[in-house]
Structure 1
Amino acid sequence: MNSAVSPRPGRHLRRPDWAGRNYSLLTAAAFVTNLGGHGALIAAAFAVLENGGDGGDVGLVAAARTLPLVLFLLIGGAVADRVPRHRVMVAANALNCVSQGLFAVLVLTGEPLLWQMMLLTALGGTGQAFFGPAAEGMLLSSVSGAQASRAFAVFRMAMQGAAVGGAALGGAMVAVVGPGWVLAADAAAFAVAGAMRALLDVGHIAPREPGGGMLADLREGWQEFVGRPWLWAVVVQFSIVGAVVGAADAVYGPLVSRDHLGGAGPWGLALGFFGAGTVAGALLMTRWKPRRLLLAGTLCVFPLALPSAALAVPVPIGVLCAVMFVTGVTLEVFGVSWMTALHQEIPENKLSRVSAYDWFGSVALTPLAVALAGPAEDAFGRTEALWGCAVTVFTVTALVLLVPDVRRLRRRTKEIATGPATAGANGSADAECPVGGHG
């Protein structure tokens, strides 16, 4: 079915049926936060470097953001399946706005201390721990039926499209006006996105049935998680892949760019090409619907080893940009396939808890990997550490293909009655980042 709606004489074009009010608000808010967030990632790293820090300090600040994710994600998932999800999202956005705003003030008015940057980054990570499961549950249940994968692809195309401008603009702004103003812009983006998410309509959603408490909710989510081999296998895979790729991107990328490519601008350009690749990949997935969802998606994880290898050489900026573009394309094939699998297989009232276990597994090793990136560089050398990242990504991705359910899980062509909540005539449903721990 063509999702486009033909215009009638004298009437304006309207949204396709699957792009209801909630879905549209979620997509617009994700665009805003990703526009600010991709620039802020570069700004945070260079704020540390410009205030006398080294690679180890960059890793500590990055780890300070990820550690609260590990500590609070499971609680965040349980809360999001109890409290209206949009309220959790708005509260998390408010915390992120405050923490990034204070970070910006410190950078703009003086020389921030390492512990101050770590503390504020940790507050931002705490907000993300509650935001992530709620957002994923909202998005996955905001669409239904045969057009679900197309809706996810369009959402990711908008979200990743913001990365193209956000990374390039952020890198340029860091080079021209310094990291403080980029952090301030990110704080403003969180404020705008939070206002949008406050407008989500969940009044038609029945209240959740009373349960046995937080521990019972967590246990129920755990049973849902471990009972699906394809789910826990991929999450274990990304607990390792995400850790080594996170270390390469957060620590080694800025250092290689500073020492060999000319500073923040080229690294921002490379990240912008990655964002452009994700847009192209999402556009591809609006048309391509692989039958074996996770087989196609997992095969497209192998190219995640390429950026680390390119930084290890290191290749010229033009080659690095090409590598990042290809990686972005293939990552989106996985991302849309993964979201579609979750959408069709996980009951709506357990989406946030399952998403929390997904996020938890995907980020559990990242604080350790990022914190150890600097010491690993000192012990083995930067080039050797980057090659180690590339080999690790390739190996664990090959191993996950040994799980039969990963190879066999097929796309369903008909909506399942017990699946996620069905959208109404305007596409609204109880219903967001990179979604889950996988981008």
Structure 2
Amino acid sequence: MDRPLMRRVLALNAGLRRFVVARALSRAGDAVFPIGLAAAMVEQSFGVADVGFVMGASLAPVVLLMPIGGVVLDHFNARIPMVAADTVRTVLQGLLAFSLLAGRPPLWFILMLSLVSGATQAFYQPGVAGILRQLAPERLREANATIRTLESVVSLTAPALAGVVIAMSDAALVIALDACTFAASAWLLAGIRLGGVAPVTAPPKVWRELREGWQEFTARPWLWSVVSVFSLFGLVVFGPFDVLKAVLLIDRFGASSYAWLMSAFSLGAALGGLIALWTTPGRPLRAGLLALLGFAPLPVVISLDLPVLLVAVAMVTGGAANAYWAVAWATSVQSHAPPHALSRIHAYDVIGSIGLMPAGRALTGVATAWTSAAAVLFTSSAALLVGCAALLLMPAVRRLPATRPPQEPKAPAGQAPDTRHARDH
């Protein structure tokens, strides 16, 4: 990690510093787990279909349960369910590592652990935005950018560590390391003290609170419009891109060069996080969408038979563009969404963003067979350009300010309130 970034992390308050490090550790675990799981299952003679089935199994409970997770995390102190989720995942990953080290476990056992792990993720992820808002209400952009940059740095180094572990010992030990990252994250989160959390007096009324969260989500045109467009991006942009970048680049340059190209993307993401840290746009969504246009050439570049150096440049640019947008979006949601419904809104945001991505991945093979990989990737780039342009044409998105406007004062009794400026952007 570079020294300026380390100094910036150390300059954060104690609670925020623990949260930032916990997120980085979780990201490191997320980066090495697919590598360790795939390698361990291949070593145990599982087929490609088995590996893909297990790796995709954890997504379904996330989509199904995340709205309920948002209700729970809005209703209670979000730190407690998040610590519980990390603790459960520590046990699950430990069991998975032990079973793979002891012999060849049945597929149903690995699948069950993946499903339960996905369910616990649904009770962790929605609380991230709420905790960050409580820890850094006046420094959301800086906190988000620091997290994004630190996550990108560990994404560069963690896969290399996994490769060393696999080469020197057993791939299942990488899964054991993933369990350790969850344990460390749980310990760090448990030490955070959040002020201003109202005591819980009754269990949540799940369906009513889900409906209220949905009403808050749909009441903000800038919010639901962006999530709707990015849901389509998951189907026609990011889903196909995730599949074809691996297939085409490995076939053209080899697996080793592909790993270096993915490191170039992570390097770009680190740069994008730093740029977001150094800039303070007055209209963050406008700036983020304009930056995201830098990702548009990447699918086309991958589809063409270009030298690896040019592909690496496009990877760095695309990673920077994607990271800058991610910081702008996360900061805008945390700044403008009402605090009492932030976890539920974040849950709807995540579900909308990833809901169609599995379909996009699954249909990529059919689409390439019907046309070609190049045609699919050209379509992805064109769809990204059209979607960003459509969002930039929406005043609610383009004009969203960096900070939430002050609330109108309540009118005296018997006097109608002035609603001329009350519309939410």
TM-score over 0.5 for the pair: yes
- Counterpart in 1 of 2:174? 182
Task: Report the CA distance shift for 1:201/1:169 in structure 2 as closer, same or farther (over 3 A).
Answer: same
Among 304, 322, 337, which residue is 1:346 paired with? 337
Does 2:257 correspond to 1:266?
yes
- Counterpart in 1 of 2:60? 67
Q: 1:343, 1:140 → 2: CA distance?
A: 6
Contact persistence 2:70–2:344 (CA under 8 A): yes
Question: Displacement, 1:131?
Answer: 0.8
Question: Displacement, 1:86?
Answer: 1.0
Task: Report the CA distance shift for 1:49/1:385 in structure 2 as closer, same or farther (over 3 A).
Answer: farther
- Counterpart in 2 of 1:221? 213
Contact persistence 1:168–1:268 (CA under 8 A): no
- Counterpart in 2 of 1:308? 299
Question: Displacement, 1:192?
Answer: 1.3
Q: Per the alignment, in what secondary structure is the counterpart of residue 135 of structure 2?
A: coil
Q: 2:206, 2:102 → 1: CA distance?
A: 43
Gaps of 5+ in 2: 409-425
Contact persistence 1:63–1:368 (CA under 8 A): no
**TM (normalized to structure 2)?**
0.82
Matched residue count: 401
The 10-residue stretch of structure 1 (81-90 or 330-339) with the greater mean CA deviation from structure 2: 330-339
The 10-residue stretch of structure 1 (194-203 or 169-178) with the greater mean CA deviation from structure 2: 169-178
- Which amino acid in structure 1 is aligned with residue 62 of structure 2? L
- Counterpart in 1 of 2:271? 280
Among 326, 335, 338, which residue is 2:326 paired with? 335
Q: Per the alignment, in what secondary structure is the counterpart of residue 197 of structure 2?
A: coil
Q: 2:241, 2:163 → 1: CA distance?
A: 14
Among 348, 372, 381, which residue is 2:363 paired with? 372
The 10-residue stretch of structure 1 (172-181 or 89-98) with the greater mean CA deviation from structure 2: 172-181
CA deviation vs aligned residue, 1:66-96 (integer Å, no higher than 9, x gap)? 2212101100100001121111111211232
Contact persistence 2:130–2:334 (CA under 8 A): no
Question: Displacement, 1:321?
Answer: 2.9
- Identity in percent: 31
Contact persistence 1:152–1:339 (CA under 8 A): yes
Q: Output aligned runs, 1:133-152, within 5 Å.
A: 133-145=126-138, 147-152=139-144
Task: Report the CA distance shift for 1:205/1:52 in structure 2 as closer, same or farther (over 3 A).
Answer: closer
The 10-residue stretch of structure 1 (350-359 or 386-395) with the greater mean CA deviation from structure 2: 386-395
Q: 1:45, 1:127 → 2: CA distance?
A: 21
Q: Per the alignment, in what secondary structure is the counterpart of residue 369 of structure 1?
A: helix
Q: 1:202, 1:82 → 2: CA distance?
A: 14
- Counterpart in 1 of 2:283? 292
**TM (normalized to structure 1)?**
0.80
Does 2:85 correspond to 1:97?
no
Task: Report the CA distance shift for 1:149/1:228 in structure 2 as closer, same or farther (over 3 A).
Answer: same
Q: Per the alignment, in what secondary structure is the counterpart of residue 81 of structure 1?
A: helix
Does 2:392 correspond to 1:401?
yes
Runs in 1 of length 4+ with deviation above 6 angstroms?
none
Question: Displacement, 1:381?
Answer: 4.9
Question: Displacement, 1:117?
Answer: 4.6
Task: Report the CA distance shift for 1:65/1:247 in structure 2 as closer, same or farther (over 3 A).
Answer: farther
Q: 1:394, 1:366 → 2: CA distance?
A: 18
- Which amino acid in structure 1 is aligned with residue 252 of structure 2? H
Task: Report the CA distance shift for 1:322/1:124 in structure 2 as closer, same or farther (over 3 A).
Answer: farther
- Counterpart in 2 of 1:320? 311
Question: Displacement, 1:114?
Answer: 5.7
Kindly indicate whether structure 1 or structure 2 has the higher relative contact order, using CA contacts under 8 Å at least 6 residues apart: 1
Contact persistence 2:241–2:380 (CA under 8 A): no
Contact persistence 1:97–1:187 (CA under 8 A): yes
Question: Displacement, 1:14?
Answer: 11
Contact persistence 2:71–2:204 (CA under 8 A): no
Question: Displacement, 1:282?
Answer: 1.5
- Which amino acid in structure 1 is aligned with residue 351 of structure 2? F
- Counterpart in 2 of 1:358? 349
Task: Report the CA distance shift for 1:226/1:217 in structure 2 as closer, same or farther (over 3 A).
Answer: same
Gaps of 5+ in 1: 5-12, 419-439
Contact persistence 2:237–2:383 (CA under 8 A): no
- Counterpart in 2 of 1:434? none
Q: Per the alignment, in what secondary structure is the counterpart of residue 37 of structure 1?
A: helix
RMSD: 3.2
